[in-house]
Amino acid sequence: MFLRRTKMLLESTASDFDGWQALVSDSFVPLDTEPARRGGFRGAISARDYDSVVMSHISANPHAVLRTPELIGADSLSNATGPSDAGGLKVGSSTNYYKVSLQLNGHGLLIQDGREVSLAPGSLAIYDTSRPYTLSFDCDFSSYVMMFPQSRVNLPTDTVGQLTATSIGADHQLGAVATQIITQAGAMLPTLNRSIGIRLAGNVVDLLTTVMADELAESEDAPGERQRLWTEVTSYIDANLADPQLTPSTIAAAHFMSVRTLHQVFEGSGETVSGEIRRRRIAACRQDLADPQKSQVPVAAIGARWGLSDPAHFSRLFRSLVGSPPAQFRRSALR
């Protein structure tokens, strides 16, 4: 087995199946693997971390990958005392992630949530690491896989769950655009400096969120009034992030509803109203801190720009959500 690892890069190959089992779990979340045939096995993974967005290129002989309930339960238990450290690529598994795969060559099958979808070259599919899934490949294959925290997707998790193990964007121009962008980004990202790579990876996640929203809007099971209100309220939050007085009370008043009704709108989204405000503010601050054109703007000024006018509070909140203080994050992102 060949392995080259830095904090943000993992390049590895396996020439036997035991080595491959270790590699796939080390690169993503803990997984089981099953060989499709006896005899030799070869596989390779090249993975890079762009501020919690992990882009991987995978090529391997036929096999199956399983995320089982037992692994999910053990994963949660092991992370109760702190996240694991696999060189910066295997992020703390206590966080829930989406994985979006783009099939490049070969064929496979994705099973999750009682659904299954065939994977052919050009197929784009989503799955959720917090719930069991199976990936099965019956021939040699290659694919791009993007893994990112569910918090990076501004859609309720229960509605995104309608899209797991489906071919997203297959019948729409947006899906074709996303496929092209992921292919191009996968080739370009290794050649870019880290700060630009972070921005590009974030833009790809934003595009995938748009594709998901488009799929949900056209689904027969698309959420009704609650989803409409959630979209309206979160758009209002985005437009008013800079206001330090943005609270559930002011949001409810602006939408002519009670605070209780507002909280009901967010039920099932995986986030409270206040938590959504905090998350979006920190996401905006992260983007500014990683922007080379804003490298001379004081950290405190960036926090204030997004409604976090108390520097100490901004630093504590940023660290709690990102894992490092804002100044340290900026140094890492811009180097």
- Domain extents in the chain: 2-218, 225-334
Report whether 211 contacts 174 (CB < 8 A). Answer: yes
3-state DSSP of 261-320: HHHHHCCCCCCCHHHHHHHHHHHHHHHHHCCHHHCCCCHHHHHHHCCCCCHHHHHHHHHH
Per-residue pLDDT of 293-307, as tens digits, reads 999 999 999 999 999
List of residues 6+ apart from 18 with CB closer than 8 A: none
Q: Which residue has the tokens 């008013």?
A: 240
Its CATH class, for the domain covering 2-218, is: mainly beta
What is the model's pLDDT at position 311? 94
What is the model's pLDDT at position 6? 46
Beta bridge partners, 198, equal none
**Residue 173: pLDDT band by 50, 70, 90 thresholds?**
confident
**Residue 154: pLDDT band by 50, 70, 90 thresholds?**
confident
Per-residue pLDDT of 82-132, as tens digits, reads 444 433 455 544 568 999 999 999 999 999 998 888 899 999 999 999 999
Beta bridge partners, 137, equal 63, 108
What is the model's pLDDT at position 41? 92
Report whether 30 contacts 71 (CB < 8 A). Answer: yes
What gap in Å lies between CA 136 and CA 111, rounded to an integer?
A: 9
b/e 146-170 (16+ beta carbons within 10 angstroms → b): bbbbbbbbbbbbebbebbbbbbbbe
What gap in Å lies between CA 302 and CA 288, rounded to an integer?
A: 7
pLDDT > 50? residue 156: yes
> Taking the CB of residue 174, how many other CB atoms lie within 10 A of it?
18
Report whether 177 contacts 207 (CB < 8 A). Answer: yes
Mean pLDDT, residues 320-331: 93
Report whether 289 contacts 315 (CB < 8 A). Answer: no
- Token readout for 227 is 């989803």
Report whether 261 contacts 252 (CB < 8 A). Answer: yes
DSSP letters for 194-255? HHHHHHHHHHHHHHHHHHHHHHHHHSTT---HHHHHHHHHHHHHHHTTT-TT--HHHHHHHT
Residue 156 C-beta-side C-alpha neighbours within 13 Å:
24
Q: How far is CA 331 from CA 195, 226, 259, 327, in A?
A: 10, 41, 40, 6
The topology under which CATH files domain 225-334 is Arc Repressor Mutant, subunit A (1.10.10)
Tally the residues of the chain: 335
What gap in Å lies between CA 309 and CA 274, rounded to an integer?
A: 16
Sheet containing strand 9-14, edge to edge, reads 2-5, 9-14, 43-50, 53-60, 141-149, 97-105, 124-128
Per-residue pLDDT of 54-82, as tens digits, reads 999 999 999 999 999 999 887 765 554 44
- Token readout for 69 is 């309930």
**Residue 221: pLDDT band by 50, 70, 90 thresholds?**
very low
State what percent of residues in the chain have pLDDT above 90. Answer: 53
